A and B are shown apart, each in its own frame.
Chain A
């Protein structure tokens, strides 16, 4: 499965985990409930040719060690704030993955439900690591991609994630990143695909990364607006907002040189003293009347537009 920078141990553990599951006759939960007795019998007889003598054999036949090791690796990688909750989610993801795998060919409605579950799981993986932890993030993007591929048409390995699912993923990412539909819409128009298109991994990764960064950016721009407004209830002066947005535009407009130099240049341009200067020159103490205010929505939209203008579409 994993082809990118997955650590060897995780690769091994997941591989053997999948193998273990394939060897078990897994049934859906409802089917399980119906034939609970026979189901147990089937598991016992199929997966254990000889009844295990010791606890150790029992555990290793079920693959408990591998399962737990895999979970711990994921946990340590993500360093979740709530490790117990993390493990609960992790195992329930694994369980529904295997249950779905066993469900196999269902009717249309069932297919749709499993697709939604798959999307939810993919989103969960995407949220595990912040995009600044790039290698962990890339791993998770890969896992999510593979998950979403399963939902696509079964055309012997080729193709990629369907455009519709790709767009849906990006939209959900923005939503969960607390970006409103209307703010995200221009970005979506720019990077979405046609429903029937097949999205290759690299494009998928770029799209997901763009949305993750965009969500962070919008949240930061919101705090910028809060800094500009005189009090939490009042609206900010339009002139001040425009000065701040201007500074932001300058910062994003960096010259064409090495990445690290551009980062430095941008952060120098958006430094507090520069911002203060821009705001001071725009500030008119006796203004603030009539139409000279800007509401947070408009500010957010304007800031988002600056970002979106810099998103290059790969072709």
Chain B
């Protein structure tokens, strides 16, 4: 929102950031937890509620319907998911779909497995669905899938339409003969090569954006993606969206890939914890002389994890490259 907020009507201004939605939710929450939330006064309660919305931790442990209700909530959830579990990425563990589903359900008890499944389809290009995935791959795909869920749904329909030969966008295909030709063409080519014609696909998505107002990736981004190839498969397109840095920046929930796993504060805390854990069984009493500390530290499990991670991350990155380059 910028200076033109002064020209909006009151309703438009309030709708822009879903002010009334949050107010309503605040009141509903208040009613659900009457005694607990009124003990410090209701002004304090509302202050806490809105500052948590501002900080983005309001979605913690809330129901799925709430989490996906606004784009701010979605972005906040993606961010929280990243911040809570980035140590997994650091350790370089590859997790299966079910594991990610469990992680998400730790933050949101009724988080549907379907969403995780759709995300996994993007990462694995709809193939070998039981393959484990790296945290970074999953996270960026999850971001696109969760943030633009409805938009992707429509894109899938368009894609199916294009594949089966009928364009869902009647404006683009002027006559019935060309539809037939197109379907003929599409049928021929699906046999020969995968995907649909990029420029046609691009036009259809462009028309779709009209309907979605602001809830779609920037036109510039997907045009850029579709310009690069003649033909595009659905999952190839989605994969390209997840890798597009501009889109990630627009959502604003995650840093770019290079900074994704950097978390010095948490590292320090962990080092401290691990040092404590590994020292206490080593020495019988609570005495921890500085001389003792050193050798124990070197053997700490953390270091070996670090080491393992680096190897796995590198190898993981390279397979991923080959995956996407196939399209």
Q: Which residues in A have some Cβ–Cβ distance to B below 8 Å?
A: 21, 24, 26, 29, 32, 36, 39-40, 43-44, 55, 58-59, 62-64, 67-68, 71-72, 75-76, 79, 81-85, 87-88, 90-92, 94-95, 97-99
Given the complex, which residues of B lie within 8 Å of A29, measured CB to CB?
Answer: 40
Is B30 close to A, CB under 8 A?
A: yes
Given the complex, which residues of B lie within 8 Å of A99, measured CB to CB?
Answer: 41, 44
Given the complex, which residues of B lie within 8 Å of A75, measured CB to CB?
Answer: 14, 19
B41 touches A98 (CB 8 A): yes
Given the complex, which residues of A lie within 8 Å of B27, measured CB to CB?
Answer: 59, 64, 68
Cα–Cα distance between A76 and B22 once the two chains are bound (Å):
16
Q: Which residues in B have some Cβ–Cβ distance to A below 8 Å?
A: 1-2, 5-6, 10, 13-14, 16-17, 19, 22-23, 27, 30-31, 34-35, 38-44, 46-47, 49-51, 53-54, 72
A43 touches B38 (CB 8 A): yes
A39 touches B39 (CB 8 A): yes
Given the complex, which residues of B lie within 8 Å of A87, measured CB to CB?
Answer: 19, 22, 46, 50
Partner of A84 from B22, B30, B35, B39 at Cβ < 8 Å? B22
Given the complex, which residues of A lie within 8 Å of B10, measured CB to CB?
Answer: 76
A40 touches B42 (CB 8 A): no
Partner of B44 from A55, A79, A85, A91 at Cβ < 8 Å? A91
Given the complex, which residues of A lie within 8 Å of B47, measured CB to CB?
Answer: 88, 90-92, 94-95
Cα–Cα distance between A59 and B47 once the two chains are bound (Å):
17
Partner of B14 from A63, A64, A83 at Cβ < 8 Å? A83
Cα–Cα distance between A43 and B40 once the two chains are bound (Å):
10
Closest chain A residue, CB of each to CB of B58: A84
A36 touches B50 (CB 8 A): no
Q: Closest CB of chain A to B80's CB: distance in Å?
A: 17
Cα–Cα distance between A64 and B27 once the two chains are bound (Å):
8
Closest chain A residue, CB of each to CB of B52: A88
Q: Closest CB of chain B to A292's CB: distance in Å?
A: 40
Given the complex, which residues of A lie within 8 Å of B1, measured CB to CB?
Answer: 81
B42 touches A64 (CB 8 A): yes
Partner of B54 from A64, A79, A85 at Cβ < 8 Å? A85
B6 touches A84 (CB 8 A): no
Given the complex, which residues of A lie within 8 Å of B35, measured CB to CB?
Answer: 40, 44
Other than A26-B41, A84-B72, give 20 A-B pairs with Cβ distance below 8 A.
A21-B41, A36-B39, A40-B39, A55-B31, A67-B46, A68-B23, A71-B46, A81-B5, A82-B54, A84-B17, A84-B19, A84-B50, A85-B54, A88-B47, A92-B44, A94-B43, A94-B47, A95-B41, A95-B47, A98-B41
Closest chain B residue, CB of each to CB of A75: B19
A95 touches B39 (CB 8 A): no
Q: Closest CB of chain A to B15's CB: distance in Å?
A: 10
* Given known contacts A81-B2, A83-B14, A88 and B51 CB-to-CB distance under 8 angstroms: yes
Closest chain B residue, CB of each to CB of A71: B46
Q: Closest CB of chain B to A163's CB: distance in Å?
A: 31
A79 touches B6 (CB 8 A): yes
B42 touches A32 (CB 8 A): no
B31 touches A91 (CB 8 A): no
Cα–Cα distance between A160 and B39 once the two chains are bound (Å):
35
Partner of A62 from B5, B38, B51 at Cβ < 8 Å? B38
**26 sampled A-B residue pairs with Cβ under 8 A:** A21-B41, A36-B39, A40-B38, A40-B39, A43-B38, A55-B31, A59-B30, A62-B42, A67-B43, A67-B46, A68-B23, A68-B46, A72-B14, A76-B14, A81-B2, A81-B5, A83-B16, A83-B17, A85-B50, A85-B54, A87-B22, A88-B50, A91-B43, A92-B43, A92-B51, A97-B43
Cα–Cα distance between A79 and B17 once the two chains are bound (Å):
12
B43 touches A95 (CB 8 A): yes
Partner of B30 from A24, A64, A97 at Cβ < 8 Å? A64
Q: Closest CB of chain A to B26's CB: distance in Å?
A: 8
Given the complex, which residues of B lie within 8 Å of A92, measured CB to CB?
Answer: 43-44, 47, 51
A79 touches B5 (CB 8 A): yes
Given the complex, which residues of A lie within 8 Å of B6, measured CB to CB?
Answer: 79
A59 touches B31 (CB 8 A): yes
Cα–Cα distance between A58 and B34 once the two chains are bound (Å):
9
Closest chain A residue, CB of each to CB of B40: A32
Q: Closest CB of chain B to A228's CB: distance in Å?
A: 27
Cα–Cα distance between A63 and B44 once the two chains are bound (Å):
13
Cα–Cα distance between A44 and B40 once the two chains are bound (Å):
12
Closest chain A residue, CB of each to CB of B51: A88
Cα–Cα distance between A24 and B39 once the two chains are bound (Å):
11
Cα–Cα distance between A91 and B72 once the two chains are bound (Å):
21
Given the complex, which residues of B lie within 8 Å of A83, measured CB to CB?
Answer: 13-14, 16-17, 19
A24 touches B41 (CB 8 A): yes
Given the complex, which residues of A lie within 8 Å of B46, measured CB to CB?
Answer: 67-68, 71, 87, 91
Closest chain A residue, CB of each to CB of B5: A79
A91 touches B39 (CB 8 A): no
Cα–Cα distance between A32 and B40 once the two chains are bound (Å):
7
A84 touches B43 (CB 8 A): no
Cα–Cα distance between A68 and B41 once the two chains are bound (Å):
14
Given the complex, which residues of B lie within 8 Å of A72, measured CB to CB?
Answer: 14, 19, 23
3 tightest A-B CB contacts, nearest first: A91-B47, A92-B47, A88-B50
Cα–Cα distance between A84 and B14 once the two chains are bound (Å):
10
Q: Closest CB of chain A to B8's CB: distance in Å?
A: 8
Closest chain B residue, CB of each to CB of A39: B39
Cα–Cα distance between A97 and B5 once the two chains are bound (Å):
30
